[in-house]
Amino acid sequence: MYPNTLYLPELREMLSQSDDAGLREFCVAVHPAAAAEFTDLLNLNEAWTVLRHADLPTQAEIFSFYDLPKQIEFLENVDLGEMASLIVELPPDDRVDILNEADPKIATELLPMLPENIRRDIFLLQRYPEDTAGSLMTTDYARVSEETTVEHALEEIGAQSAQLETIYYLYVVDQHDHLRGVLSARDLVSSFGRPQTKISELMETHVVSVDADDDSDDVADQVAKYDLAAIPVVDDEHRMLGIITHDDVIDVMREQAVEDTQRIGGLAPLEESYLRVSIPRLTWNRGMWLILLFFGALLTALALEQYQGGPLLTASTAWLVLFIPLIISCGGNTGSQSATLIISALSAGHVSPQDWLKIILRELLQGVLLGIVLGTIGYLAALLMGPDNWIHALAIPITILLVVICGTLLGAMLPLIFEQIGWDPALMSTPFIAGIIDVVGIVIYMSVALMLISGG
């Protein structure tokens, strides 16, 4: 863990005493991520006062560790001239994120304050829609030509490195920016003893890259598969546009894990963190699914209504009512489990829709096993709480067996079908699957009971 030697009260005291030396020391000595964390607890003006004690590159580094809403708060409340100098120092991808999310009026006011080359860079990156490789990339990367020597490359990279986000890889491009090869910093440094070697002799020509329009999920998959520290982004003609670094990939993966969980849990994913998102937005993201699920659940009432007035819902069979919630929750839980298994296996790349036959067989087998166990417990409960007639009580285990099998099969198949037709399988959320099985369960229960009781 980071040595947590500086605390909020000390920072507040330095602020109240205008202790410039102390604040300068704070900005230098503390890791930028930790400085961001501490100052995040101050109010905006106090935080800005602290940051002003850092030199511009450190200021930008600390700033880049705030989350996006906080960065925008600064932009919208601090002197724009000062913000413009800071924004010039930020990595290109961070710059664009801030400008895209800020109040358009302020963004328009800010743009003319930035140097022309940075403005051009911003317009270039803004073209890529959210969640594409293009929107994640940075245009600051180390590039060399094939003809460069090791010595020359080391010198060049040494001079450029202050502006570069990473030098783990040097990308080798021709004069039209076509990506020709890649060289790791490791390979460059290990050739330190042979300074006249040409880069073309050392470089790897099979480069793993992504297209600017590729989905950010695909980027994460490639980086994870090939164990990369950064991945180049190219256009249709294989011209180099930028790179995506491992830290941005980790951020994307974290966001996506949260979004996937929310989808599986039956909510539209939130754009912001739980405490920041507004209550109306949160209620809407939940409400749209709840209402849909509610209409689905109304079908259970309609299904039950069909049996009203028949031989089932009379005094002597009133015990059947007792087990309605049990049977519904049993099917719902089994279905949710199967859906969770298949959705997470799909997203981890462990199964694909081509495996459907194997999956059906596995789920069927599990359904039978689980159904027999749960059905046995259910039968005992039915004999205790239900009718005196042991044949009538058989309605419970038979229904449970059938409902559990339905649950495993539907729960597994629906996400697979979604994946096959190209939709996000997590849209087939577990409450949605439970809702479908609820209706099926009621129909199975009433049909089985009718057969046993009218027949018996």
Per CB under 8 A, contacts with a second copy among 124-163 are 154-155, 157-159, 161-162
Distance in Å, CB of 186 to a second copy, minimum: 5
Applying CB under 8 A, which of residues 116, 129, 237, 274 lies at the interface with a second copy? 274
- Buried b / exposed e along 222-256 (16+ C-beta atoms within 10 A): bbeeeebebbbbbeeeeebbbbbbeebbeebbeeb
Distance in Å, CB of 284 to a second copy, minimum: 9
Q: Which is nearer to a second copy, 107 or 167 (CB)?
A: 167
Range 32-51, binding a second copy (CB under 8 A): 33
* Residue 285 CB-density burial (10 A; 0-12 exposed, 13-18 middle, 19+ buried): middle
Range 207-246, binding a second copy (CB under 8 A): 208-211, 214, 220, 222-229, 246
Q: Which is nearer to a second copy, 9 or 280 (CB)?
A: 280
Distance in Å, CB of 66 to a second copy, minimum: 12
Q: Which is nearer to a second copy, 113 or 296 (CB)?
A: 296
Q: Which two tokens stand for residue 44?
A: 């905006």
Distance in Å, CB of 414 to a second copy, minimum: 14
Count of Cβ atoms closer than 10 Å to residue 312 Cβ:
21
Distance in Å, CB of 328 to a second copy, minimum: 5
Distance in Å, CB of 373 to a second copy, minimum: 6
Task: Judge whether 153 and 199 are in contact, CB under 8 Å.
Answer: yes
- Buried b / exposed e along 432-451 (16+ C-beta atoms within 10 A): bbbbbbbbbbbbbbbebbbe
Range 5-34, binding a second copy (CB under 8 A): 29-31, 33
Applying CB under 8 A, which of residues 15, 118, 167, 443 lies at the interface with a second copy? 167
Q: How many CA atoms lie within 13 A of 71 on its CB side?
A: 24
Distance in Å, CB of 274 to a second copy, minimum: 4
The stretch near a second copy (CB under 8 A) out of 18-26, 76-84, 95-103, 184-192 is 184-192
Count of chain residues binding a second copy (CB under 8 A): 133
CA distance linking residue 362 with residue 356, whole number of Å = 10
Applying CB under 8 A, which of residues 189, 391, 417, 451 lies at the interface with a second copy? 189
Range 57-96, binding a second copy (CB under 8 A): 65
Q: Where are the beta strands (DSSP E) in 65-209?
A: 142-144, 169-173, 179-184
The stretch near a second copy (CB under 8 A) out of 52-60, 95-103, 123-131, 374-382 is 374-382
Applying CB under 8 A, which of residues 253, 427, 443, 450 lies at the interface with a second copy? 253
Distance in Å, CB of 108 to a second copy, minimum: 30
Distance in Å, CB of 191 to a second copy, minimum: 7
Applying CB under 8 A, which of residues 21, 275, 357, 421 lies at the interface with a second copy? 275
Give the neighbor-by-neighbor strand order of the sheet with 210-211. Answer: 210-211, 230-234, 240-245
Residue 178's DSSP bridge partners are 239
Distance in Å, CB of 452 to a second copy, minimum: 18
* Sole residue written with tokens 């790179």: 243
Question: Residues 193-212: x/- map of binding to a second copy (CB under 8 A)?
Answer: x------------x-xxxx-
Distance in Å, CB of 152 to a second copy, minimum: 11
Work out whether strand 240-245 and strand 142-144 pair parallel, antiparallel, or are unpaired.
unpaired
Range 105-124, binding a second copy (CB under 8 A): none
CA angle 78, 82, 88 (to 5 degrees): 120
CA distance linking residue 368 with residue 374, whole number of Å = 10
Range 302-331, binding a second copy (CB under 8 A): 302, 304-305, 308, 313-315, 318-319, 321-326, 328-330
Q: How many CA atoms lie within 13 A of 62 on its CB side?
A: 27
Cα dihedral: 96, 102, 105, 107 (round 10): -20
Work out whether strand 240-245 and strand 230-234 pair parallel, antiparallel, or are unpaired.
antiparallel
Task: Judge whether 41 and 8 are in contact, CB under 8 Å.
Answer: yes
Question: Residues 332-361: x/- map of binding to a second copy (CB under 8 A)?
Answer: xxx-xx-xxxxxxx-xx-xx---x--xx--
Applying CB under 8 A, which of residues 300, 414, 446, 448 lies at the interface with a second copy? 300
CA angle 136, 139, 144 (to 5 degrees): 130
Count of Cβ atoms closer than 10 Å to residue 193 Cβ:
7
Determine, following the binding rule CB under 8 A, whether residue 261 of this chain makes contact with a second copy: yes
